[in-house]
Structure 1
């Protein structure tokens, strides 16, 4: 997937979509400018760290897609 086909998305919208896809808030380890979400699939944790930036940079969004363990098509279907 090329980065030019990725949509611009805010961190709040991305967090809402990932929560609907089965992710949960990871335990909070303090204040900061990022949100951690985790999803377990076959006892394997998938941890994604989402920066509070609007819009999320395309390279960062591509990295979040890879870390989520979801296919690119399924991930983009959430948006």
Structure 2
């Protein structure tokens, strides 16, 4: 069973993805776009005030090809 998703701010999500090898290529408005070689599609992280919604965080983790446990270890 995987760990429970933590409540995170957008900067914490971006920092964890950068530790996983992603890099922020651009930020358009309130969304940061991250790329990583070998991942076919960019990952978009909303950079709004407040926390990243749980469903959005789960989708970001899935798109990054990480498990929830691997993502939590990067925090």
- TM-score normalised by length of structure 2: 0.81
Structure 1: gaps (5+ residues): none
Do the aligned partners of residues 67 and 15 (structure 1) sit closer, same or farther apart at CA in structure 2, a change above 3 Å counting? same
2:35 matches 1:38: yes
Equivalent residue pairs, number: 74
Question: Which has more helix, going by share of residues?
Answer: 1
Q: Retained in 1: the 8 A contact 2:34–2:44?
A: yes
User: 4+ runs of 1 displaced by more than 4 Å?
Assistant: none
Match of 1:21 in 2: 20
In structure 2, the gaps of 5 or more residues are: none
Q: Does the aligned pair in 2 maintain the 1:25–1:38 contact within 8 Å? A: yes
CA RMSD in angstroms comes to 2.2
**TM-score normalised by the chain length of structure 1:** 0.77
